[in-house]
Structure 1
Amino acid sequence: AYVIYTSGTTGRPKGTLIEHKNVVRLLFNDKNLFDFGPSDTWTLFHSFCFDFSVWEMYGALLYGGKLVIVPPLTAKNPVDFLALLGREQVTILNQTPTYFYQLLREVLADHPYDLRIRNVIFGGEALSPLLLKGFKTKYPETKLINMYGITETTVHVTYKEITWVEMEAAKSNIGKPIPTLRVYVLDENRRPVPIGVVGEMYVAGEGLARGYLNRPDLTAEKFVDSPFAEGEKLYRSGDLAAWLPDGNIEYLGRIDHQVKIRGYRIELDEIETQLLNVEGVEEAVVL
């Protein structure tokens, strides 16, 4: 269906091979968590260099809904974007937390727009539930949904509706795996860790990419054989997590030096590599 490039540790972005069936089962499966339909209006807010856009495009179009393409200048201005949400009567809004916090200031201020948003779906980076209290107070009927995701497992991996309970707990609760996927939290020997113990997240199921384009070594390193099911692959996320007692997952950051800026994965080593290419720079450290 597409090849989308993500950050790579050597300064060489890696092309992730996503098949049509990966995208289709994301939106159509036996235990679907969403009720998208032809009466919904979505925004195409994100760049198609970022796989959140796949969810936005096909979430709208495969259900016969309406897709409003957000002009780049509007996307950069929360005041203008809020006006668009009101004017187009948007019902499904997808946002990275960083941008939503900026939009939130305008939403909570006095404005003349009648918002009809049914779902706000977060993805791309860690969410701070505590910051959503004001929105939930003003729009109690709007569902706030946190979805952890990875490009290599086709946009989304987990689902968690954020209620007052999660806001009070103030943890980065990413919920449980969506239908067709499974999540394991494993130690360095790929053994499951107990509840509350930090480990690396591995993902299995029908969303896994075919691998990386023309990168067999990297594919073998990241898409490993499962010790739990013969013939099955696990994707090593590089993300730290722990099981909560209720069966949800708490996201705890990265194992490596990768950071996320507005949803984009960036390796700090890559920035160091670029700095070392600058004439007159002998050494560089990026924190």
Structure 2
Amino acid sequence: MAAWEILGCLCNGGTLVIRGSEWNQTLRQIATLICTPGILSQYTPEQYPSIKTVATAGEPSWQSLADLWASHGTYYNCYGPTETTIVNTMSKHITHQPLSIGHPTPNNNVYLLDSDLSPVPHGEVGVIWAGGRGVSAGYVDQHDKTAEKYKFDCVANDGTLMYNTGDLGRLRQDGQIDILGRVDDQVKVK
């Protein structure tokens, strides 16, 4: 996420604070934090009252963590695999509302498709496919894997690619997306 964090900060007039060896000291200097939920869970808003905005990505967040930080500021739950330049959905969480991965960010499309690559109805479970300008061209020197995970975007039908995330999701009536798990047994190793 480094490029997103750096450019997002500088392009919006922020002051970039580079993490030093003293992580706790760094946290006391900032107003906005972008990290994984696992890292964020080691801290509380009471410890770092200067942090007013938090965005998490890189792994699934959970309700109690989102509620805790949203009750002290602004909490964004972000989602997106590396193959789609990290973040392709985002939700501004409201305390005690069901946690969601939100809506697609600009220049991104997110589809919930069945095994025939047809959109599933609202409320039904489908595989999350990501489309839009942020989708990579595939895996270097891994043509079979690229052919398996990437398809031409049959929903936008504009000649671009879409990527099979392998995640299961459901589209709410309000247009937000809930993530429900994986179609396989992939585990993220840190």
Q: CA RMSD in A?
A: 2.0
TM-score of the aligned structures, taking structure 2 as reference length: 0.89
Shift of 1:259: 1.5
> Quick check: 1:103 aligned with 2:43?
yes
* Residue number in structure 2 paired with 1:155: 86
For 1:117, give the aligned amino acid: I
Contact 1:149–1:157 (CA under 8 A) maintained in structure 2: yes
Contact 2:91–2:100 (CA under 8 A) maintained in structure 1: yes
For 1:69, give the aligned amino acid: I
Q: Which consecutive unaligned segments of at least 5 residues does structure 2 have?
A: none
> Quick check: 1:186 aligned with 2:134?
no
**Higher RCO (C-alpha under 8 Å, 6+ residues apart):** 1
Q: Which consecutive unaligned segments of at least 5 residues does structure 1 have?
A: 1-51, 76-80, 265-287
For 1:191, give the aligned amino acid: S
Shift of 1:54: 2.3
* Residue number in structure 1 paired with 2:76: 145
Contact 1:120–1:145 (CA under 8 A) maintained in structure 2: yes
Shift of 1:129: 2.1
Q: Deviations over 1:53-83 (max 9, x none)?
A: 2222222234453222213x534xxxxx2x3
Which of residues 116, 123, 127 is equivalent to 1:200? 127
Q: Deviations over 1:117-142 (max 9, x none)?
A: 332001111111233434444x2xx2
| Greater helix proportion | 1
Distance 2:178 2:188 in 1: 17
For 1:99, give the aligned amino acid: I
Q: Deviations over 1:66-124 (max 9, x none)?
A: 222213x534xxxxx2x3222x2x122012111111112xx43xx5x6x3333200111
Distance 1:132 1:202 in 2: 25
Shift of 1:165: 4.2
Distance 1:215 1:206 in 2: 21
For 1:147, give the aligned amino acid: C
Shift of 1:230: 4.2
> Quick check: 1:259 aligned with 2:187?
yes
Contact 1:146–1:160 (CA under 8 A) maintained in structure 2: yes
Which of residues 11, 14, 17 is equivalent to 1:65? 14
Distance 1:180 1:192 in 2: 19
Matches within 5 A, 1:96-245: 96-104=36-44, 107-108=45-46, 115-137=49-71, 139=72, 142-166=73-97, 169=98, 172-228=99-155, 229-245=157-173
TM-score of the aligned structures, taking structure 1 as reference length: 0.61
Q: Which moved more, 1:192-201 or 1:53-62?
A: 53-62
Which of residues 29, 33, 36 is equivalent to 1:93? 33
Percent identity (aligned): 35
Shift of 1:212: 1.5
For 1:188, give the aligned amino acid: S
Contact 1:147–1:174 (CA under 8 A) maintained in structure 2: yes
Contact 1:153–1:208 (CA under 8 A) maintained in structure 2: yes
Equivalenced residue count is 189
Structure with greater Cα Rg: 1
Contact 1:129–1:162 (CA under 8 A) maintained in structure 2: no
Contact 1:54–1:155 (CA under 8 A) maintained in structure 2: no
Shift of 1:143: 1.0
* Residue number in structure 2 paired with 1:42: none
Contact 2:70–2:93 (CA under 8 A) maintained in structure 1: no
Distance 2:140 2:122 in 1: 36
For 1:220, give the aligned amino acid: A
